[in-house]
Amino acid sequence: MLQTPATFEPVIRPQDHDHPLTFVFHRGELLLRNSVMGLPDAAHLRGLPLAPERIHPLGLWEGRYYQAAWLDEPLLPGADFGYHGMRGLFGVLDDGFLGVAGRAFQLVEWARTHRYCGVCATALQLLEGERCYKCPNCGHSAYPRISPAMMVLVRKGEQVLLAMHTNSPYQRYTALAGFLEAGESVEEAIHREVFEEVGLKVHNLKYFGSQSWPFPHSLMLAYTADYLDGEIRVQPSEIADARWFGPDDAWPELPVKVSIAARLIDAHRPR
Ligand SMILES: [Zn+2]
C-alpha cells in the first residue's frame, strides 16, 4: 500500500549532508533518471535553477537524506532524465519509495501554491523549524493543506456495494467515496454521500484505516457500513454504475493495489 515506510524519519530543519537525494517535481510529475528509475543527486542538479528557498528538507531513510523541490518548467539535467506522473509509477517503483514521494509532492505543492498571502498578497516567509508560511504584514499563516475524504464499503448480508465513479481516472469498480464538507464529521459525510450517490441508508459504521493520497492532498478515511434501507438509485453526475456483488457474482476489476480501497475491498470480499 502507498504509505510512508516505518523506518522513514521526517526532518523539518535542513541538514548538511554529503549526498542528498532530491525529489524534484514539475507540477504533478517527478524527475527521475530513466536508466535506473532513481532520484537525481546533487551533482545532477547543479545546472538546474533550484533556488535554496525552493528546496525543502524531507527526511532520513535507509541512511540517505531526502529533500523535495519544484521547478516552474520541466527542465532536464541530461538526456537520461524524464518527468513521470506518480500514478504511472504504481507497481513500477517500490510502494515505500512512492509513499515518500507522495509526502514530497504534497510538501512542494504547498510551497508552490503559498508564495503570497491570500489575505494581503504580501510575499510569505517560511518559519524556521516549522512547516508554516507566515505573512510578515498581516500575520496570516498557511500550513500544508490536507483534504479529508471518506470511503465506505456498504455491506448487505454476503454482498458488498461497488460503484464506478463517473470521473474516476481508472474506470474500475470501487467503494463509495467523497470529500468532507466544511463543518461535517466523517460519519455525517458518509451518510450524506451514500444517500446522494446511491440513494441508500446505512448504519453500523466501523472505521477501517486511513491513507494519505497525494492527488493532490487527500487523506482517505476508510469505513465499512451495513445496509439499512432503500433501493439503489445512482446520481448520474457522480456514479456511472453501482451494484451489489456477492460470492457467486463475477468480480469486477478492482482499484489499484496501492490504494486503501483495494485493501478495504479485499478484507471484506465475499468468499
Ligand atoms: Zn498578509
User: Where in the chain are the domains?
Assistant: 9-113, 147-268
pLDDT of residue 271: 80
| 42 alpha carbon – ligand 1 mean position (Å) | 35
| 134 alpha carbon – ligand 1 mean position (Å) | 8
Separation CA 210–CA 161 (nearest Å) = 20
pLDDT of residue 170: 74
Mean pLDDT of 17-28: 94
Q: In this structure, what C-alpha cell is assigned to residue 48?
A: 538546474
Among 110-124, 151-165, 250-264, whose mean pLDDT is lowest?
250-264
pLDDT of residue 214: 95
| Phi, psi (degrees; rounded to nearest 5) at 219 | -120, 110
| 131 alpha carbon – ligand 1 mean position (Å) | 17
Mean pLDDT of 46-69: 94
Mean pLDDT of 173-187: 97
Strand, coil or helix: 171: coil
| 116 alpha carbon – ligand 1 mean position (Å) | 8
pLDDT of residue 253: 87
Q: Where are the beta strands (DSSP E) in 198-248?
A: 201-213, 218-229, 239-245
Whole-model pTM: value is 0.92
| 115 alpha carbon – ligand 1 mean position (Å) | 11
| 126 alpha carbon – ligand 1 mean position (Å) | 13
Question: In the CATH scheme, what is the code of domain 147-268?
Answer: 3.90.79.10
| 118 alpha carbon – ligand 1 mean position (Å) | 7
Task: Please write the tens of the pLDDT for every residue from 216-241.
Answer: 999 999 999 999 999 999 999 999 99
Using the predicted structure, report yes or no on whether residue 126 has a pLDDT greater than 80: yes
pLDDT of residue 114: 96
pLDDT of residue 205: 98
CATH class of 9-113: alpha beta
| 124 alpha carbon – ligand 1 mean position (Å) | 8
Mean pLDDT of 151-158: 97
Using the predicted structure, report yes or no on whether residue 167 has a pLDDT greater than 90: no
Q: Would 9-113 and 147-268 be classified into the same CATH topology?
A: yes
pLDDT of residue 1: 87
Provide the percentage of residues in the chain whose pLDDT is more than 90. Answer: 88
| 146 alpha carbon – ligand 1 mean position (Å) | 21
One-letter amino acid of 149: A
pLDDT of residue 150: 98
